[in-house]
């Protein structure tokens, strides 16, 4: 093949998302992250002899929610299967999963890349249990390996995309959109560092303009947006180089090594496991009762794309602001809560974007000591002239530090704006007397000096004077 041939990648992603349930998929053990090894375990999730699985209903609801959010067909009847292989972290010697009758099929996810919207098809969503985790001593003589079963039987969904993705940037955008959607739906917390969300990528390349798919490699162990992009870029380059050099891509499973920033072969097609899937005899078919899917549909929260449309068309926010506010489900909920308290869309949007998010410095809004309604209340205090915008910023500092209600802060600090003419007038008189020169300029037509004078009065009043009222008084006194 010629050296200058241009290749086009064909990419499909398999996203594994941990469902946000309190307990495991087939037993009552906690799913909490970070517990000491083998403390969230029982005889069921350690595969003791004689145990049987009992399905967690909440996990089913979350899987249905994911299916609806991704516009899938949710099947009233699906089936559990056993995926058989030996590994120390797999206590039963098989994983309970879904195989040829998954709970959801045929959906889509819209993503945006470089300002362009595109649709990625969803092939299927199936439910399965996670495995435990092998822990190894450093490789020295007498080193041991251990198994931690805390993760064993934690509920997952695997979301398989169509091979619709054509670049690493699109793949990253897909992952971001998927994470955003799953978080909105309350299906998965999206915590990639803790392994709640991870993906495998199927990557192949073909000469640009051709139709036939090339041989694919499956890349495992990708757990950040950055790694999605890096791993796929590496793989595209590797496969393209291989073909340019006259070689052939072999179908294999490769492992992403984030340290080495490369992929390496894990097992070839010949070494691929025969998982000997067969229907799980310990669990009846998963049958959703009549009306269940519709009920879950009714409880479905507003999806990110719908929210974005509402913010721009109904609330009149700029696309830029709307995007910032809808990016994260919690920020959007925070904004909606603020808006529910006080209906000044523009001003609240400004406060959330320019003040709150800036102060957060990348932390989650969940970490704040106050909720969205506090910002609604704060803007309301400005709008009804209880405080000035400047004082409001001081109130925010207080909120960040100690939480509480803006009204209570204003009251306890004595920050209520002075609107009593009798109280402001002496200050105005004093400022005018001390600035005769400016008064002259004003009278000579340089009316913009009034801003300077207002500032002085505000300063003297320690910010508590109502600026509009100060303005009026100054004009009146200077005969404007």
Radius of gyration of the chain (CA): 30
- Binding status of residue 422 toward other proteins by CB under 8 A: no
Residues 280-309 that bind other proteins (CB under 8 A): 281-284
Site membership for other proteins, residue 138 (CB under 8 A)? no
Which residue, 36 or 414, is less far from other proteins as judged by CB?
Answer: 36
Q: Which of 47, 121, 297, 301 binds other proteins (CB under 8 A)?
A: 47
Decide: is 274 part of the binding site for other proteins (CB under 8 A).
yes
Distance, CA of 16 to CA of 22 (rounded, Å): 18
Q: Please report, for residues 121, 201, 335, 358, the alpha-carbon distance to residue 70 in angstroms, rounded to integers and kept in the order given.
A: 9, 19, 24, 32
Residue closer to other proteins (CB basis): 34 or 86: 86
Q: For residue 146, what are the CA distances in angstroms to 48, 136, 222, 261?
A: 17, 6, 23, 27
**Is residue 417 within 8 Å of residue 450, measured between CB atoms?**
no
Q: What is the DSSP letter of 439?
A: H
Task: Map tokens 């830029």 to a residue.
Answer: 320
Whichever of 278 and 320 has its CB closer to other proteins, that residue is: 278
455 binds other proteins (CB under 8 A): no
Residue 69: helix, strand or coil by DSSP? helix
* Shortest reach from residue 269's CB to other proteins, in Å: 12
DSSP state of 462: T
CB of 79 to other proteins, least distance (A): 13
Shortest spacing between CB 256 and other proteins, in angstroms: 23
Indicate which single residue of 147, 156, 197, 219 sits in contact with other proteins (rule: CB under 8 A).
147
CB of 92 to other proteins, least distance (A): 5
User: How many residues make contact with other proteins (CB under 8 A)?
Assistant: 28
Q: What angle do CA 366, 372, 377 make, to 5 degrees?
A: 150
Instruction: Check binding of 53 to other proteins (CB under 8 A).
Output: yes
CB of 53 to other proteins, least distance (A): 7
> Residue 140 interacts with other proteins (CB under 8 A)?
no
The residues, any chain, with a CB within 8 Å of residue 8's CB and separated by 6 or more, are 166, 205, 206, 207, 208, 209
Tokens for 71, please give them.
């516009």
CA atoms within 13 A on the CB side of 467: 18
The DSSP secondary-structure symbol of 212 reads S
Residue 124 interacting with other proteins (CB under 8 A): no
Which residues are CB-neighbours of 248 under 8 A, at least 6 positions away? 215, 242
128 or 164, CB closer to other proteins?
Answer: 128
Nearer to other proteins, 145 or 191 (CB): 145
Token digits for 276? 């000997």
User: How many Cα atoms occupy the beta-carbon half-sphere of 237 within 13 Å?
Assistant: 10
| Cβ distance to other proteins smaller for residue 277 or 292 | 277
Minimum Å gap between C-beta 225 and other proteins is: 33
- 94 or 442: CB nearest other proteins: 94
Q: Which stretch binds other proteins (CB under 8 A): 153-161, 274-282, 417-425, 460-468?
A: 274-282
CB of 51 to other proteins, least distance (A): 7
Q: Is 57 in the site for other proteins (CB under 8 A)?
A: no
Choice between 87 and 320, CB closer to other proteins: 87
Residue 46 is a binding residue for other proteins (CB under 8 A): yes
CB 14 within 8 A of CB 160: yes
Q: Residue 204 CB, nearest distance to other proteins (Å)?
A: 22
**Residue of 1, 48, 250, 408 interacting with other proteins (CB under 8 A):** 48
Number of H helices, E strands in the chain: 16, 16
Shortest CB 248 distance to other proteins, Å: 24
Residue 81 beta carbon to other proteins: minimum distance, rounded to whole angstroms = 10
Q: How far is the CB of 367 from other proteins (least distance, A)?
A: 39
DSSP 274: -
Q: Is 54 in the site for other proteins (CB under 8 A)?
A: yes
Question: Under a CB-based contact definition with an 8 Å cutoff, are residues 324 and 357 in contact?
Answer: yes
What is the C-alpha to C-alpha distance for residues 340 and 338, in angstroms, rounded to an integer? 5
Question: In angstroms, what is the minimal distance from the CB of 296 to other proteins?
Answer: 22
H or E stretch covering 352: none
Which residue's CB is nearer to other proteins, number 48 or number 397?
48
Q: Pattern 71-90, binding to other proteins, x per CB under 8 A?
A: -----------x-x-x-x--
User: What is the helix, strand, coil percentage profile of the chain, to 5?
Assistant: 40, 20, 40
Q: Is 49 in the site for other proteins (CB under 8 A)?
A: yes
Distance CA 299, CA 351 (A): 30
Among 35, 37, 51, 110, binds other proteins (CB under 8 A): 51
Answer for which of 36, 52, 114, 260 binds other proteins (CB under 8 A) is 52
Residue pair 182/329 in contact by the 8 Å Cβ criterion = no
The site for other proteins (CB under 8 A) is made up of 43, 46-55, 82, 84, 86, 88, 91-94, 147, 274, 276-278, 281-284
């Amino acid at each position: 093949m010629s050296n200058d041939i241009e290749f086009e990648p064909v990419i499909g992603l398999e996203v594994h998302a941990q469902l946000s349930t309190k307990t495991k998929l087939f037993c009552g053990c906690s799913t909490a992250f970070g517990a000491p090894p083998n403390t969230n375990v029982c005889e069921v999730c350690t595969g003791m002899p004689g145990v049987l699985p009992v399905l967690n209903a909440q996990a089913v609801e979350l899987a249905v929610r994911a299916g609806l959010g991704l516009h899938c067909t949710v099947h009233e009847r699906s089936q559990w299967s056993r995926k058989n292989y030996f590994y120390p972290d797999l206590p039963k010697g098989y994983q309970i999963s879904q195989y040829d009758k998954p709970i959801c099929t045929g959906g889509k996810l819209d993503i945006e890349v470089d300002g362009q919207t595109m649709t990625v098809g969803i092939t299927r969503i199936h439910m399965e249990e996670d495995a435990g985790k092998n822990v190894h001593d450093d490789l020295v003589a007498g080193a041991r390996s251990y198994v931690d079963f805390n993760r064993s039987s934690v509920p997952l969904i695997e979301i398989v995309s169509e091979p619709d993705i054509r670049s690493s940037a699109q793949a990253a955008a897909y992952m971001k959109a998927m994470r955003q959607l799953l978080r909105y739906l309350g299906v998965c917390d999206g915590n990639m560092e803790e392994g709640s969300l991870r993906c495998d990528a199927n990557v192949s390349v073909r000469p640009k303009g051709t139709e036939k798919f090339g041989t694919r490699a499956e890349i495992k162990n990708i757990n950040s947006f950055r790694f999605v992009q890096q791993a796929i870029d590496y793989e595209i380059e590797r496969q393209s180089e291989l073909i340019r050099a006259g070689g052939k891509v072999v179908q294999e499973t490769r492992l992403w090594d984030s340290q080495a920033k490369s992929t390496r072969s894990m097992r070839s097609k010949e070494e691929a496991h025969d998982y000997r899937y067969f229907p799980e005899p310990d669990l009846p078919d998963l049958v959703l009762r009549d009306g269940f899917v519709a009920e879950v549909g009714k409880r479905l929260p507003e999806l990110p794309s719908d929210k974005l449309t509402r913010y721009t068309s109904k609330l009149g926010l700029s696309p830029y602001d709307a995007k910032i506010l809808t990016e994260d489900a919690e920020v959007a909920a925070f904004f909606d809560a603020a808006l529910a308290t006080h209906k000044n869309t523009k001003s609240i949007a400004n406060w959330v974007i320019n003040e709150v998010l800036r102060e957060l410095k990348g932390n989650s809004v969940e970490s704040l000591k106050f909720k969205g309604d506090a910002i609604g209340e704060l803007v309301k205090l400005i709008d009804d002239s209880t405080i000035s915008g400047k004082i409001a910023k001081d109130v925010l500092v207080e909120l960040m530090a100690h939480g509480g209600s803006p009204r209570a802060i204003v009251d306890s600090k004595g920050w209520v704006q002075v609107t009593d003419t009798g109280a402001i007038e002496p200050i105005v008189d004093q400022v005018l007397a001390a600035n005769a020169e400016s008064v002259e300029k004003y009278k000579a037509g340089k009316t913009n000096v009034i801003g300077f004078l207002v500032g002085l009065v505000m300063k003297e009043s320690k910010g508590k004077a109502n600026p509009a009222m100060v303005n009026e008084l100054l004009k009146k006194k200077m005969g404007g």
